[in-house]
Amino acid sequence: MNAILKRTLLPSLMAASLAGVTLAPVKPAAADDQVLRDIGIGAATNVVTGAIRGNGGVLGNAVKGGATGAAVNGANGLRRNRHRSAVQDVGVGAGASALTGVITGDRRDTLGNAIDGAAVGGAIHLLTNGK
Q: What is the pTM of this model?
A: 0.70
Q: What is the mean pLDDT of residues 53-73?
A: 89
- The 10s digit of each residue's pLDDT in 74-90 is 888 776 656 778 898 99
- Compare 32 and 9 and report the one with higher pLDDT: 32
**Ranges 14-23, 28-37, 62-71, most confident:** 62-71
What is the pLDDT, as a whole number, of residue 120?
Answer: 93
- The 10s digit of each residue's pLDDT in 5-25 is 556 555 654 555 544 444 444
Q: How many helices (H) and strands (E) does the chain have?
A: 5, 0
What is the pLDDT, as a whole number, of residue 92?
Answer: 92
> By percentage, how much of the chain surpasses pLDDT 90?
34
Taking the CA of residue 66 as centre, how many other CA atoms within 13 Å lie in the half-sphere pointing to its CB? Answer: 9
